[in-house]
Homo-oligomer: A and B are copies of this chain.
């Protein structure tokens, strides 16, 4: 029998990634395209982005579409059955794959940590979302409403809290902090009032604020209490999102995987320690996992799981 492959896709709001994976779970080829969130870019542009990423990955792997046993697409903006049906239709138009699985992109991050559709993931990048699946296939989510709607603990939130700390220190409303000098130096600004045009400069993109998060980690490492407090609160907020999911799935007394995905966790113990402490106080058998694979490979693992289960 000829060698078989699957394709995993992680379709985000910024870019679309695809991998071709063999049966030994080795990545054989990678591709990338622009955004495939059809709510943002429309279904034609989404199809083109998927097509680009998939064909690039197949070409990179030197694999023909006929050798692909299944595809799993984990896509931003896919929440309702109608979303799944549309993405499924787009995928089948690209190639007549024998199996097509469609999930929300949070699922790819979960599977990248657990290798399967089971457990809880807390993604904390520019934004944040917590998502979980129990043994019965029931799902729950918390947060993920975007920068202005309580995405507490996200990179955006950490960056904005740092800016708040800087102006509050300048006002005498808050504690002095190393963040003042570090922020001004990093942004190449002379004085705190120069933060005003920087903050409100159009377009206001949330990523611009999230990019300040590493400064907070550096200040925390250097001993700054204000920075440590921001990261501690981020960890507590992220635990709160995880616990909302854990409670809704009634996992408190169970052993389950809790995957920490996204760049915020690179802050290390400043964020992870309060997160772990708060979660374990209520769900003592949670197993914390930092994935070694990117989400797109999680999508491919789910395609294999589906095929082997069938």
Residues of A within 8 A of B (CB): 141-143, 145-146, 148-150, 160, 163-164, 167-168, 171-173, 195-196, 199-200, 204, 240-241, 244, 247-248
Cβ–Cβ < 8 Å partners of A142 in chain B: 171-173
Cβ–Cβ < 8 Å partners of A163 in chain B: 148-150
Partner of A200, one of B141, B146, B195: B146
Ordered by A's residue number, 29 sampled pairs between the chains whose C-beta atoms are within 8 Å are A141-B171, A142-B171, A142-B172, A142-B173, A143-B171, A143-B173, A145-B167, A145-B195, A145-B199, A146-B196, A146-B199, A148-B160, A148-B163, A148-B199, A148-B200, A149-B164, A149-B195, A149-B199, A150-B163, A150-B167, A150-B168, A150-B173, A171-B244, A172-B244, A172-B247, A172-B248, A173-B240, A173-B241, A173-B244
Shortest Cβ gap from A179 to chain B (Å): 13
Cβ–Cβ < 8 Å partners of A146 in chain B: 196, 199-200
Cβ–Cβ < 8 Å partners of A164 in chain B: 149-150
Cβ–Cβ < 8 Å partners of A244 in chain B: 171-173
Cβ–Cβ < 8 Å partners of A143 in chain B: 171, 173
Cβ–Cβ < 8 Å partners of A168 in chain B: 150
Cβ–Cβ < 8 Å partners of A172 in chain B: 142, 244, 247-248
Partner of A149, one of B167, B204, B247: B167
Dominant SS at the A interface?
helix
Cβ–Cβ < 8 Å partners of A247 in chain B: 172
Cβ–Cβ < 8 Å partners of A148 in chain B: 160, 163, 199-200, 204
Shortest Cβ gap from A65 to chain B (Å): 36
Cβ–Cβ < 8 Å partners of A195 in chain B: 145, 149
CB pair A149 B241 closer than 8 Å:
no
- Which 6 pairs across A and B sit closest by C-beta, in order of nearness? A142-B171, A150-B164, A172-B244, A173-B244, A145-B167, A149-B167
Shortest Cβ gap from A251 to chain B (Å): 13
Which residue of chain B lies nearest to A160 when distances are taken between CB atoms in the complex? Answer: B148
Cβ–Cβ < 8 Å partners of A199 in chain B: 145-146, 148-149
Interface centre among A143, A146, A149, A241 (most CB of B within 10 A): A149
Cβ–Cβ < 8 Å partners of A160 in chain B: 148
Shortest Cβ gap from A213 to chain B (Å): 16
A145-B241 CB under 8 A given contacts A150-B168, A164-B150, A248-B172: no
CA distance A283 to B171 in the complex (A): 18
